[in-house]
């Protein structure tokens, strides 16, 4: 039976780190782990904090097409493991109200001045397609 976006959101809540892939200036692909901060009420949007001086932000500004990959120990319907890959467009947000809406205390580890950290940005990735695999089932949800 095909999975819904709601089914995938339930799995994604238990996966803290996502690999965010961007296109580099020389045409390569760069991937780095990003925490979703358990900010998963998944409607197709994923949220990540980064400093504007990072390659991540610079690469998104040059080309907003990105990929997200997630691997969870707990698969769909309790069968391990699960893999999720999303393709979409990223947007760089510099709005303090948006920072506050997505901030969690654990972020203080990386951004000691909280939402007032100089150069702080919020990356919103809106997925166009989400693929999933769990060893027995696979499919795609188009948004």
Global pTM value: 0.88
Instruction: Note down the domain range covering 131.
Output: 5-142
For tokens 């997200």, the residue is 68
Domains contained in the chain, number: 1
Which residues lie below 8 Å from residue 85, measured CB to CB, with a gap of 6+?
67, 68, 69, 70, 130, 131, 132
Q: What is the pLDDT of residue 93?
A: 98
Strands 138-142 and 65-72: unpaired
Q: What is the pLDDT of residue 124?
A: 94
The yes-or-no verdict on residue 39 having pLDDT over 70 is no
In this structure, what CATH number is given to the domain that contains residue 111?
2.30.110.10
- 8 phi and psi angles, rounded to 5 deg: -70, -35
The yes-or-no verdict on residue 77 having pLDDT over 80 is no
Mean pLDDT of 9-27: 87
Q: Which pLDDT tens digit goes with each residue over 101-133? A: 999 888 999 999 999 999 999 999 999 999 988
Q: What is the pLDDT of residue 103?
A: 93
């Amino acid at each position: 039976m095909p999975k819904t976006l709601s089914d995938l959101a339930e799995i994604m809540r238990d996966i803290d780190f996502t690999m965010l892939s961007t296109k580099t200036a020389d045409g390569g692909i760069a991937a780095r782990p990003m925490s979703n901060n358990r900010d998963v009420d998944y409607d197709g949007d994923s949220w990540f904090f980064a400093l504007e001086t990072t390659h991540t932000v610079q690469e998104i500004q040059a080309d907003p097409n990105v990929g997200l990959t997630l691997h969870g120990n707990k698969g769909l319907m309790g069968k391990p493991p699960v893999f999720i890959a999303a393709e979409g467009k990223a947007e760089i947000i510099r709005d303090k109200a948006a920072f506050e809406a997505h901030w969690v205390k654990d972020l203080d580890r990386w951004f000691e001045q909280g939402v007032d950290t100089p150069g702080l940005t919020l990356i919103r990735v809106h997925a166009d397609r989400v693929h999933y695999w769990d060893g027995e089932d696979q499919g795609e949800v188009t948004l």
